[in-house]
Structure 1
Amino acid sequence: MTPQKDNWSANKYAKHASFVPKLGSVILDKLDPQSNEHVLDFGCGDGVLTKLLASKTRCVTGIDASQAMIDHARQDDAPQNVSYHTVNGYDLDTWFDAHEKAGPYDAVFSSATLHWLKEDPIKAIRNIHHVLKPQGRFVAEFGGFMNCGEVKTALVHALNKRGIDGNAASPWFFPSAEHYSHLLVENGFEVKEAELVPRMTELNTDIKGWIETFGFAFLERLANEQERAQVAQEVQDYLQPSFQREDGKWFIMYVRLRVIAVKK
């Protein structure tokens, strides 16, 4: 896999995107963790949901590709039954075989992560299958078909008109429920539930702040900070008529793919 630059900032995430873990509690409820289980939090980020998960079960292993986010999670009064590790999702199988002494997990939980594994989503699915016990649960929520569609389209268009392939710049894998279900079945899972859930989402700050936090793969294709700021402002201005409420609050239409599957 292509080595990934760590573009994440725990402080920036908290400023512009604290709504992400708050809204992740819905899929955590669907996991229904039991008090005797060992659960993997795949893409734990700053650990907000990991700590909540740890309060409901025996122990939790949190992994994330971002060293900055793992460092923040470790500093933030982590419960004793949580361990954090910097692991790219594509390398989970290798890491698990070398380091996880407790054996396969009862469940894998993932919130707002799997859409970042665009390069090889099948490898991610196979790795999750690899680390689960037979009949182990895989419960996830991430960006699905049409997720943040207006912002993505505007970013793609902004790059295209500057002579850059905007679609190639996108870091996101936003599958339909049908497509992702097919991938799960083809790779050893029985799908119990897979549905797209539209969710109007209030932003912490504005569209520019959202792009700064999540759209860095687009901005990196631009020549300098001035051009990056110009594109972020251009996208915000384009979306303002429909995505800024009367009181000044900004919104994006998220579409989340919620999945519950069991390892065959």
Structure 2
Amino acid sequence: MSPAAASTSKWNAADYARVGGFVAELGGAALDLLDPQRGERILDIGCGEGTLTQKIVERGATVLGIDNSPEMITAARAKGIDAVLLDVADMTFSSEFDAVFSNATLHWVLEKEQSARAIFRALKTGGRFAGEMGGEGNLRKLRDALDEELIIRGYVPPIEASNWYASPEEFAAVYEAAGFEQIDARLMERPTRVDHGVNEWVTTFRRGWLDRAQVPEAERAEIGTAVADRVGSNIADYVRLRFIMRKPN
């Protein structure tokens, strides 16, 4: 799904749907970990255009999706998803949901402690939080190739972190501090073929990074092609952090 932190990302819903379909496809395992039940009320954080949100609905749950991208919310609503424009860190829900789900979103959220507390508050007593995000070492080869290409062309890659790619220990510490227990967080290397090519991955998934490096739109396709040449394949070096935890009874 798409990120829920406006400070680190920028999205075009049509490009994301065309190039990023693999994100939802690979989120099926995290959805199975959530194991949504008929009659449950579930919050989907970073619902994007609603592909996985729909699958939760199909299992009989009532779902509210949130995302910070107006374009993504429009696309989700067009699919009939109940979705609202909201940053995870700004949520004020209180004991409203049986479960919370998030796929490919939390690594964009730099307000991680505030977000963890907001998720904890949103859950009912005994509720669970399950999902997946980018983990420690995620996309290191691709990110390094992009920064090298930017430097060669005279651009300065942003100094500030764009993502929180946590280790299981770092992730668990943040959510334990928020009050969660029974935290199971595991890293998985998952090299992934990008069917539309690394060049389009760069212009779609690193749009916000290119914005911050002040790269003109007219040069982005060429940079994407150069990064693809550096990488030498259409395999993205994804590392995922999959997790499940509970709010105490």
TM-score (norm 1): 0.85
Q: What's the counterpart of residue 102 of structure 2?
A: 110
- For 1:68-217, list aligned pairs within 5 A: 68-76=71-79, 78=80, 82-93=81-92, 96=93, 104-118=96-110, 120-161=111-152, 162=154, 164-168=156-160, 170-217=161-208
Who wins on radius of gyration, i.e. which is larger? Answer: 1
Question: In structure 2, the residue corresponding to 1:238 is in which secondary structure?
Answer: helix
Q: 1:86 corresponds to which letter in structure 2?
A: L
| Contact 1:64-1:88 within 8 A present in 2 as well | yes
Question: In structure 1, the residue corresponding to 2:125 is in which secondary structure?
Answer: strand
How far apart are the structure 2 equivalents of 1:14 and 1:216?
15
Larger displacement relative to structure 2 (10-19 or 225-234): 225-234
C-alpha change, 1:111 and 1:252, in structure 2 (3 Å) is same
Q: 1:148 corresponds to which letter in structure 2?
A: L
Task: Give the superposed CA RMSD.
Answer: 2.0
| Contact 2:8-2:108 within 8 A present in 1 as well | no
How far apart are the structure 2 equivalents of 1:45 and 1:91?
17
Gaps of 5+ in 2: none
How far apart are the structure 2 equivalents of 1:141 and 1:201?
15
How far apart are the structure 2 equivalents of 1:151 and 1:39?
34
Residue deviations 1:189-238 (CA, integer Å, cap 9, x gap): 11331100111211131111101111012211134234433432221111
| Contact 1:15-1:204 within 8 A present in 2 as well | no
Q: How many residues align?
A: 242
- Moved runs in structure 1, 4+ residues, more than 4 A? 2-6
How far apart are the structure 1 equivalents of 2:6 and 2:51?
26
Q: 1:232 corresponds to which letter in structure 2?
A: G
Q: Which of 224, 230, 234 does residue 238 from structure 1 map onto?
A: 230
Gaps of 5+ in 1: 98-102, 245-249
Q: Which of 62, 65, 68 does residue 65 from structure 2 map onto?
A: 62
> How far does residue 5 in structure 1 lie from its aligned partner after superposition?
8.7
C-alpha change, 1:67 and 1:163, in structure 2 (3 Å) is closer
TM-score (norm 2): 0.90
> How far does residue 9 in structure 1 lie from its aligned partner after superposition?
1.7
| Contact 1:17-1:204 within 8 A present in 2 as well | no
Question: In structure 2, the residue corresponding to 1:8 is in which secondary structure?
Answer: coil
